Amino acid sequence: MRARTNDDANASRVRIDWDVEEESTSAETLARAIERGARVALSASDGFRRAETIWKVYDVVGGIGDGRGDVILTHVATGASRGDLESVERSSGTSGADAAVVEAGRRARDRALAWASMRSESERATTSYDFTSNGTRKHVSVGGTFDRLHAGHRALLATAMRLVEPNGTLYVGVTSEALLRNKKYGELLEAYEDRADAVRAFLLECRDLSSPVDVRIGPLDEGPPLAATVREMSALVVSRETIVGAEALNDMRVEAGFDPLDIIVVDLIGASASGDGTKLSSTALRAADAAKNRPT
């Protein structure tokens, strides 16, 4: 898959730059843009050097509405002035702020303040990974159901894409319908093709515009995943709740005589910031859709 030009990829998006030195202001700017319904192309003042920054961005996205705000990352500095709320609101064709927009910005600032108090690896599992000092990888794998693509999925996919070196390969496994028969509200699950297409569209935009990456998307079925069977695979990106499964894959690789994978863990969206253990999930989104469709 080849990245499109900057004009093609981001023509209809509001451009914002996340300033890692002014995260609370950046969080507010992003939240207000999402609350207004803007589609956002986000760059970072450090080029998303740390995985934690990606998590923070999508933690903000996850706190707005249903957590499905359309925010992609770009590694080319094309953003509006850092944290410049007035510039962003002008570019999205709006001025002033209604109560909902102001409240979204306030909540995002509160989330940013909460990040500073999270110190343990269990709370922010992505803290330690630095793409500059820890490096990128040639062959990276990531997988999931990706139903109703939301901020948690985007954080996982964006981290995986950032981990791939130029001209490398990203393998994305999308859970097949055969494995989802017992999912809660399974009748409302999006079709495999729709979920795979949503992943592909997101990754097509969310990439360094100067670096081609081969993205291979296929079904996760009852057979062993590629992460366990492809010798040259070097890294696996997982959410905090699937670490045990990742360790099991490494056991399979060792038994097959392969090197174990580097496991990059992305924390859950929503659970840490809210303090109530409630994470953003596709199941909750399906439940909300079921409630809307329920006869009154």
Give the pLDDT of residue 271.
57
Whether residues 186 and 73 fall in one domain: no
Domain-embedded: residue 123: no
Domain-embedded: residue 272: no
- Angstrom distance (rounded) from CA 102 to CA 131: 34
Whether residues 162 and 251 fall in one domain: yes
Domain-embedded: residue 11: yes
Whether residues 200 and 247 fall in one domain: yes
Burial 100-118 (b: 16+ CB within 10 A, else e): ebeebbebbbebbeebeee
- Angstrom distance (rounded) from CA 95 to CA 281: 33
User: Which distant-in-sequence residues (6+ apart) come within 8 Å of 107 by Cβ?
Assistant: 31, 63
Kindly state the percentage of the chain with pLDDT values over 70.
74
Whether residues 157 and 38 fall in one domain: no
Return the CATH number at 242: 3.40.50.620
Domain holding 107, by residue range, is 6-116
In tens, the pLDDT along 53-73 reads 999 999 999 999 999 999 999
Domain-embedded: residue 275: no
Domain-embedded: residue 122: no
Whether residues 107 and 166 fall in one domain: no
Give the pLDDT of residue 279.
73
- Angstrom distance (rounded) from CA 47 to CA 36: 26
Give the pLDDT of residue 78.
38
pTM (predicted TM-score): 0.84
Domain-embedded: residue 97: yes
Domain-embedded: residue 170: yes
Whether residues 148 and 217 fall in one domain: yes
Do residues 139 and 169 touch, judged by C-beta distance below 8 A?
yes
Q: Which two tokens stand for residue 164?
A: 């791939």
Those residues of the chain that have pLDDT short of 50 are 1-10, 76-85, 90-95, 120-125, 272-276
In tens, the pLDDT along 182-228 reads 777 666 689 999 999 999 999 988 866 557 889 999 999 988 899 99
Give the pLDDT of residue 276.
46
Number of domains the chain contains: 2
- Angstrom distance (rounded) from CA 277 to CA 22: 27
- Angstrom distance (rounded) from CA 250 to CA 144: 17
Whose tokens are 């494995």? That residue is 179
User: Which distant-in-sequence residues (6+ apart) come within 8 Å of 223 by Cβ?
Assistant: none
Whether residues 148 and 259 fall in one domain: yes
Domain-embedded: residue 274: no
Count of CB atoms within 10 A of residue 67's CB?
24
Q: How far, in whole angstroms, is CA 174 from its chain's centroid?
A: 15
Whether residues 105 and 159 fall in one domain: no
Whether residues 93 and 23 fall in one domain: yes
End residue of a domain, out of 84, 116, 148: 116
Give the pLDDT of residue 87.
53
